[in-house]
Amino acid sequence: MRKIDTVLGRLDKEYPDADIALLFDGVFQLLVAVMLSAQCTDVVVNKVTPRLFAKFGDAVAMAKADVREVEKLIYSTGFYRNKARNVVGAARMIVADFGAEVPCEMEDLLKLPGVARKTANVVMNAGFGKAVGIVVDTHVGRISRLLGLTEQKDAVKVEKELMKIVPKKKWGRLPYLFIEHGRKVCIARRPQCRDCVLSDICPSSQV
């Protein structure tokens, strides 16, 4: 069995319920939540979005929002000025160019203000059920390097290398497994290698 198959098989057994942690209702709210999660924890985002979505829960409402009001509602997520500007700007483009519906193609998502490939990948997978790439956040990149799956540090390059070795049907699943493992066991500053189900096949294991 290939190493990546072993890795994913073991992590699937370890974290059968691993899934997106953000709370949302519909693709537009997912998009906004992911945009707010940059440099911020999902826990903080989930505390902010109920009030935000109560006022601006869809693209039409957000497109009409005062950026300063959005800034106040998302302040605790950090980088709130840029995020507010991008969220409102994305909503306005969605309304103007895509009939008020979040576009379901990667190339169109990448046209939206504040949307890079990581965000677009999350929306494509969790919002539309389409696997067109692999979400690479800090956990995914770090664990991929520790396991020897890549030596790349740039997220886009990591994604390209993972797409070559990971079965396409697992592209959407891998990020959640790696994120869960990174939070619970393969913790950046204090990895729990003795409790890791991958320690025997991980070249970085400290066991």
Active-site residue list: 118, 137
Do 134 and 162 form a contact (C-beta atoms < 8 A)?
yes
Residue carrying structure tokens 């009001």:
69
What is the end-to-end Cα distance of the chain in Å, rounded? Answer: 23
H or E stretch covering 7: helix 3-14
Backbone φ and ψ for 172, nearest 5 degrees, come out as -80, -25
Do 119 and 20 form a contact (C-beta atoms < 8 A)?
no
Instruction: Pick the closest to residue 141 from 154, 130, 131, 124 (CA basis).
Output: 154
Do 207 and 194 form a contact (C-beta atoms < 8 A)?
yes
In this structure, what token pair is assigned to residue 67? 């950026």
In this structure, what token pair is assigned to residue 26? 């519909």
Secondary structure letter of residue 193 according to DSSP: G
- Could you give the maximum distance between any two Cα atoms of the chain, in Å? 56
